[in-house]
Amino acid sequence: MSRSTGRRLGRAGIRDVAAAAGVSITTVSDALNGKGRLPDATRSHVREVAERLGYRPSAAARTLRTGKSGLLGLTVTTYGDEPFTFTEFAYFAEMARAATSAALARGYALVILPATSRHDVWSNVALDGTVVIDPADGDPVVTELVRHGIPVVSDGRPGGALPVTGWVDNDHEAAVLGLLDHLADAGARRIGLLTGNTTDTYTRLSTTAYLSWCERVGQDPVYESYPAHDPCAGAVAADRLLARPDRPDAVYGLFDPNGTDLLAAARRYGLRVPEDLLLVCCSESTVYATTEPPITTLSLKPRRIGTAVVQILIDAIEGLDDDRPIEQVIPTDLIVRTSSQRRSARTAINPPRGPAGA
């Protein structure tokens, strides 16, 4: 077999791309890595040739050349003591899928890291950068990573002056105010809230928006808080909320299980949804399209967020972020279903009764 035939059957190398494109190896490297002062036409031409030849850069060669591993970390640090509790949430699954695809498209791999404040657990992984979801105020993991020279981008606006490279988040205040108005327009007269007791900005901003809305419309706040990582606590909090003397006739739940928790609690108290109780929860789970009745959900667009955080992180790692924004706000989407559909206005709310069979 000739050398040329063997090359055609093997994986194309950077020399093959340079020869086919009629440029130098350095130009190929700069074009594919977004570096150098190349004309846009040259950069596009090189990338088209590389794609046609099926060229893929060698991770090992890049590590030797740049000192970078090509590995990005992804974790949540605020959801309980179990190291991978967060992987059970639909939001994380959607966000991680998009982040993984975005990383691979730029020659990086994503590593899911345990939710723990012990940075030494991560010391065995050579990371070029890390994405942290919903860091708490003064998050020790973020602080320690940055101290070791590892750039961090947060999914969620960081609190407590955390030294992150950038962040991507939703406008949680606008989202909450919009869905509360939606419930009021559907006839709700006393809207309640299921919220968490963590210090991440998602929980804090959403709860603050609810309290501001209540003040604006002249409604006394009706809410219960619980540790968001504990699904059992969520069910108990939903029951407490519907057992209150000032029981709400509509509820917004901030976290993924809240929709089913509230639906189950409503049934225990003999409340019909949506006739007696309107429901909305924040979730990416498709299960809410098939509950009885289907539940309205607020989507935070985790796929768009996952793509954006990885792009910001890699730009920072590769020094390409000079003229690019490092703070992005992604719009939300209220998916209206039967649980919050319009009904005739009510002039009175019946007092709560005990659970069925009590």
Q: What confidence tier does 242 reach under pLDDT thresholds 50, 70, 90?
A: very high
Q: What confidence tier does 355 reach under pLDDT thresholds 50, 70, 90?
A: low
Q: Can you give the pLDDT at residue 336?
A: 97
Regarding the domain delimited by 71-170+302-332, which CATH topology (the fold level of the hierarchy) does it fall under?
Rossmann fold (3.40.50)
- pTM, entire model: 0.76
Q: What is the pLDDT of residues 49-91, one digit of tens each?
A: 988 888 876 655 555 455 677 899 998 876 555 555 667 788 9
Q: What is the pLDDT of residues 294-342, one digit of tens each?
A: 999 999 999 999 999 999 999 988 887 665 658 999 999 999 999 999 7
Chain mean pLDDT for the chain: 84
Distance of alpha carbon 358 from alpha carbon 150, whole angstroms: 57
- Are 167 and 327 within 8 A, CB to CB? yes
Q: What confidence tier does 348 reach under pLDDT thresholds 50, 70, 90?
A: very low
Question: 301: part of which helix (H) or strand (E)?
Answer: none
In the chain, % of residues over pLDDT 70 = 81
Please say whether the dihedral angle defined by the alpha carbons of residues 145, 151, 155 and 160, taken in this order, is positive or negative: positive
Q: What confidence tier does 268 reach under pLDDT thresholds 50, 70, 90?
A: very high
Amino acid at position 6, single letter: G
Q: Which CATH architecture has domain 3-57?
A: Orthogonal Bundle (1.10)
Asked whether the predicted pLDDT for residue 1 surpasses 70, the reply is no
Domain residues of the chain, as ranges?
3-57, 71-170+302-332, 172-300+336-340
Amino acid at position 240, single letter: R
**Residue holding tokens 């179990």?**
82
User: CB atoms < 10 A from the CB of 72, how many?
Assistant: 27
User: CB atoms < 10 A from the CB of 26, how many?
Assistant: 12
Q: State the first-to-last Cα distance of the chain, in angstroms, to the nearest integer.
A: 84
Question: Residues 238-257: what's their mean pLDDT?
Answer: 95
Q: Can you give the pLDDT at residue 38?
A: 83
Q: What confidence tier does 159 reach under pLDDT thresholds 50, 70, 90?
A: confident
Q: What is the largest CA-CA distance in the chain?
A: 88
Fold match flag (3-57 vs 172-300+336-340): no
Q: What is the pLDDT of residues 14-48, one digit of tens each?
A: 888 899 999 988 888 778 776 677 888 888 898 88
Per the model's pLDDT, the better-predicted residue between 3 and 268 turns out to be 268
Per the model's pLDDT, the better-predicted residue between 48 and 262 turns out to be 262
Asked whether the predicted pLDDT for residue 351 surpasses 60, the reply is no
Q: What confidence tier does 6 reach under pLDDT thresholds 50, 70, 90?
A: very low
Q: Can you give the pLDDT at residue 3?
A: 38
Domain 172-300+336-340 is found in CATH 3.40.50.2300: yes
Q: Can you give the pLDDT at residue 7?
A: 41
Asked whether the predicted pLDDT for residue 4 surpasses 60, the reply is no
Distance of alpha carbon 126 from alpha carbon 149, whole angstroms: 12
Q: Can you give the pLDDT at residue 344?
A: 56
Strand, coil or helix: 109? strand
Q: Can you give the pLDDT at residue 158?
A: 85
Q: What confidence tier does 230 reach under pLDDT thresholds 50, 70, 90?
A: confident
Q: What is the pLDDT of residues 113-140, one digit of tens each?
A: 876 655 555 667 788 999 998 887 778 7
